[in-house]
A and B are shown apart, each in its own frame.
Chain A
Amino acid sequence: MTEYRIQGATGEWEVVIGLEVHAQVTSQSKLFSGASTAFGAEPNSQVSLVDAAMPGMLPVPNKECIRQAVRTGMAIEAQINKWSRFDRKNYFYADLPQGYQISQLYHPIVGEGSLLIEADEKHGISEDKTIGIERIHVEQDAGKLMHDQHPTMSYVDLNRSGVALMEIVSKPDMTSPAEAGAYVRKLRSILRYVGSCDGNMEEGSMRADVNVSVRKVGASELGTRTETKNVNSVRFVMQVIEYEANRQVDVLESGGTVDQETRLFDVATGTTRTMRSKEDAHDYRYFPDPDLLPLVLEDDFLEDCRASLPELPDAKRVRYETELGLTPYNARELTHEVETFARFETLLGAAASIMGKPETKVATQVANWALSVAPGVVKGLGEKANLTNSTPEAQAQILAMQDKGEISGSQAKEIYEIVLKEGGDPATIADEKGLKQVSDTGAIEAAIDDILANNQDKVEQYKGGKDKLFGFFVGQTMKAMQGKANPQVVNQILKDKLG
């Protein structure tokens, strides 16, 4: 595959990438308190006495958060640990009311698993690659600091304090920004299939800590890594790697050493810088949280978790290829996002029933329509497209008419265009606007007889072996029929008559 390399003055460098993705667990209430997790509430309005670490307050774990972490672990075929426990990570910061974060270091709830990123030229991935996942643990989110509200003070909002996160830790298996991007997209897709995280990176539901190190190509030793915290989009993750890898190469080649440190990404400049608040060397003094007994998962709980898992992206993609006979490209494109496959599957169902054919027979037509034809029309219309008119039924009707040969591909687009602009029933539109193709052999035969009569010379040349002329006759016929003749019928009659 095409390797990602950095050309330094002293030679070629390769980059080693590991990602720690923090995904907010989809739950109504926080990990250890009953306060709501709803986004965007008034400051400190969703804070319980527990979240504010009032004296004598105690954590009680939320069953749903545990369930979602387990389901996520199952979705990446990971080891589920039936005995795990919570540890305290001790450090002082204004967004951390307890003075420690309740996390899982020694015994995480989910152990080793893996995730497949598929070959995808469009995104610079030339072949399938399996990325190892080290672990998933459950932990508390921190509060939020606001620095620009007051000249000398920072303000603290604890609404997020105590919201449940899954930290999904990859192995250092990625070697290019493209792979890291694909990993995050795939992980996001799995989380959204499972429903354990909404994957909304803008609202911070998913953030990545990006660990980057570089080494001379072929070197076996890993270089010193930096960790760039809370990167909240796929593009930024790739930018961070690009920037960090080059920065580290420059540092090393100019005789310096890379510090193992925590860095921040500056969206404005696309660069990273040392995180000052984390400068002092940390000693987190992890130890088991004495307020929480071990977390023991019963078999029936695990069975419920497994039973509630939906068909996952890889399985669905394979089924689309094998059962529905879709091309690998179509199968992949349709299965990336929950919304995409959902729309496809409804349309497929509607089309199949209107045409009275099995889904397997119409899948390719529907896939092409859903992935290229329809989006093309919508794009062409821009503002004028009213997508609420684009019901599965309307689209299925159009596809059915085309399938019967009543309309041509271009007529299908025209009809869809009208549907998008004005709505209405595709069949009626086809009739009123005369957007139908003639399959009536009589009319077509008459037209062809004329054309052949008026072009005796060309007929002779054709019969003399000038096959190219066949196209000329087709063109003339379609012209005579104002483009509304069914091309298959035209071809057939011409073939018969020209012998």
Chain B
Amino acid sequence: MTDLTELGVKDIRDGIASGDFTAREVAESFNAAVDAASALNAFIVATPDHALAAADAVDAKRAKGEELGAMGGVPIGMKDLFATHGVQTTAASHILEGFSPQYESTVSQNLWDAGAGMLGKLNLDQFAMGSSNETSYFGNVSSPWRKEGSNAAMSPGGSSGGSSSAVAARIAPAATGTDTGGSIRQPAAFTGICGIKPTYGRCSRWGVVAFASSLDQPGPMARSVEDCAIMLGAMAGHDPKDSTSLDVAVPDWEAALSSDLTGKKIGIPKEYRMEGTDQAILDSWEQGKAMLKDAGAEIVDISLPHTKYALPAYYIIAPAEASSNLARYDGVRYGLRDLPEGAGLQDMYAATRAEGFGDEVKRRILIGTYVLSAGFYDAYYTQAQKVRALVARDYDRAWENCDLILAPTTPTASFPLGSLNDDPLTMYLNDVFAVPASLAGLPAMSVPAGLNPDGLPLGLQLVGKAFDEQGVLNAGLAIQERAGFTAAPEKWW
């Protein structure tokens, strides 16, 4: 029998449905794989019992001939930003260490309702702030990938680095991610997997620890476009508890998948040719064009004039929202409390937050606090929101000439852990290609395009019109079929 951990969402679901193997066998295989992969530090906590219970429920249903659900019997990894009832939820921070939610996030509940089970809570950059998974209180996550001829631990990307590492290492067939400014797409690109950030509002934010509310959006990370389509369908849906949740029907993306792009126009934004971008990335971009053309699409040059300003605007808006969203971590109702001898209330806040937040989180809270403070609000925040409007308008105008946009996901491939963290700014530049779609709330996906000369994965990004996840997935499928990306990291853990 094939190694079950080699299978993805679709194969597991269908294999269980057709009786090739049981959900329990699948859960046990992945639980074992998770157990054996502690060197990756992808999980903060493992929840084998949750996976087994869900599996047994699915096997029982099958015995009774009942519906198994869109994710029936698929054990997944849950980014530790999603509140899970009775299971520690930390956002990879010390300030939430030991926090046991008395509620279940809408997205995770949707997945359980679809028959999925949980292998554990995945590591991430603290409060989803980071692009390398080096800001977690629970330690760095290692990518399963390594440069040819090197043993240096590589970054799995961030903030969904536990997710990307686990899926790439085959210790989870799929995982949830969240994307605020590239946190699904950049880690997916770094680890040779697929990840899609749907239209803002497709997936409920209720029960997801907030980073930047106007940007945060959950999405699936898996090894194929089909698996992303299936899992996104299970995650998405209108939620009255989130007033920014879109009240629109969820299409059957899986059923409508088609790599025939006849009649589709693919825009190539000239502004994405930035210096500092690896030649290998530019080459894969060219190959991507050829693949989409081969799939029947027409390639057109477009302009997104404000691209260059998206990242600085993001680094005002996101920290501003974060500085306010993270004010609730004050040591009063949950989480860490640091109460020095004789401290008053305000001293307790300052001590608790100093002790509970990591450096990057503090840095962003301080930036956010500064740009919102008296006298600076208009110069920074208002200006940034105007630029954001211009970035969104760039896309509106682009859609007059194309249906989808193809661009690299990142300017470089993965880098060794520790190689960038002396300079925050260089780290931020990782998301230069990912952030514009986030500011505009558009669906965007990263699919593996190939390996660079160092043997590290590269990703291509597809951005679609609002609500057009189908278009994004279909183009992703066209690339997947043609790129034939089958490379897998060599097991060293």
One of A61, A100, A283 near B243 (C-beta < 8 A): A61
Cβ contact within 8 Å between B373 and A56:
no
Cβ contact within 8 Å between B374 and A90:
no
Interface residues as binary, B285-326 with A (CB distance below 8 Å gives 1, 0 otherwise): 000000000000000000000000000000000001101101
Among A49, A100, A285, the most chain B Cβ lie within 10 Å of the Cβ of: A285
Cβ contact within 8 Å between B91 and A59:
no
B209 CB-CB contact with A under 8 Å: yes
Cβ contact within 8 Å between A55 and B89:
yes
One of B83, B324, B326 near A56 (C-beta < 8 A): B83
Interface residues as binary, A124-168 with B (CB distance below 8 Å gives 1, 0 otherwise): 000000000000000000000000000000101000000000000
Please name all residues of chain A whose beta carbon is closer than 8 Å to the beta carbon of B208 when the two chains form the complex. 56
Please name all residues of chain B whose beta carbon is closer than 8 Å to the beta carbon of A58 when the two chains form the complex. 205-206, 241-244
Within A267-290, the residues touching B (CB, 8 Å) are 283, 285-287, 290
One of B91, B327, B334 near A92 (C-beta < 8 A): B327
Cβ contact within 8 Å between B244 and A293:
yes
Please name all residues of chain A whose beta carbon is closer than 8 Å to the beta carbon of B346 when the two chains form the complex. 92
Cβ contact within 8 Å between B332 and A97:
yes
Closest to B242 in A: A58
A291 CB-CB contact with B under 8 Å: yes
Closest to B317 in A: A290
Cβ contact within 8 Å between B103 and A287:
no
Closest to A287 in B: B372
Inter-chain CA distance A88–B207, complex, in Å, is: 20
Cβ contact within 8 Å between B243 and A287:
no
Inter-chain CA distance A59–B209, complex, in Å, is: 14
Please name all residues of chain A whose beta carbon is closer than 8 Å to the beta carbon of B330 when the two chains form the complex. 92, 99
B349 CB-CB contact with A under 8 Å: yes
Interface residues as binary, A89-108 with B (CB distance below 8 Å gives 1, 0 otherwise): 01011100111100000000
Cβ contact within 8 Å between A55 and B101:
yes
Stretch in B138-146, B185-193, B210-218 touching the partner: B210-218
Task: Tell me how far the C-beta of A341 lies from the nearest C-beta in chain B, rounded to whole angstroms.
Answer: 40
Task: Tell me how far the C-beta of A318 lies from the nearest C-beta in chain B, rounded to whole angstroms.
Answer: 43
Please name all residues of chain B whose beta carbon is closer than 8 Å to the beta carbon of A55 when the two chains form the complex. 83, 89, 91, 96, 99, 101, 209-210, 328, 334
Cβ contact within 8 Å between B243 and A293:
yes
Cβ contact within 8 Å between B209 and A156:
no
Task: Tell me how far the C-beta of A325 lies from the nearest C-beta in chain B, rounded to whole angstroms.
Answer: 53
A309 CB-CB contact with B under 8 Å: no
Cβ contact within 8 Å between A49 and B327:
no
Closest to A89 in B: B324
Please name all residues of chain B whose beta carbon is closer than 8 Å to the beta carbon of A52 when the two chains form the complex. 333
Task: Tell me how far the C-beta of A370 lies from the nearest C-beta in chain B, rounded to whole angstroms.
Answer: 49
B29 CB-CB contact with A under 8 Å: no
B381 CB-CB contact with A under 8 Å: yes
Task: Tell me how far the C-beta of B355 lies from the nearest C-beta in chain A, rounded to whole angstroms.
Answer: 16
Cβ contact within 8 Å between A56 and B332:
no
Cβ contact within 8 Å between A56 and B333:
no
B105 CB-CB contact with A under 8 Å: yes
Inter-chain CA distance A287–B324, complex, in Å, is: 9
Q: What 5 A-B pairs have minimum CB-CB distances, sorted nearest first?
A: A99-B327, A285-B372, A290-B213, A290-B214, A56-B207
Supply 18 A–B pairs (Cβ within 8 Å), ascending by A.
Answer: A49-B103, A55-B99, A56-B208, A60-B241, A90-B323, A92-B327, A92-B349, A94-B332, A97-B332, A98-B328, A100-B324, A156-B332, A285-B374, A286-B372, A287-B320, A287-B372, A290-B321, A293-B244
Residues of B whose CB lies within 8 Å of any CB of A are 82-83, 89, 91, 96, 99, 101-103, 105, 205-210, 212-214, 240-244, 320-321, 323-324, 326-328, 330, 332-334, 345-346, 349, 369, 372-374, 377, 381
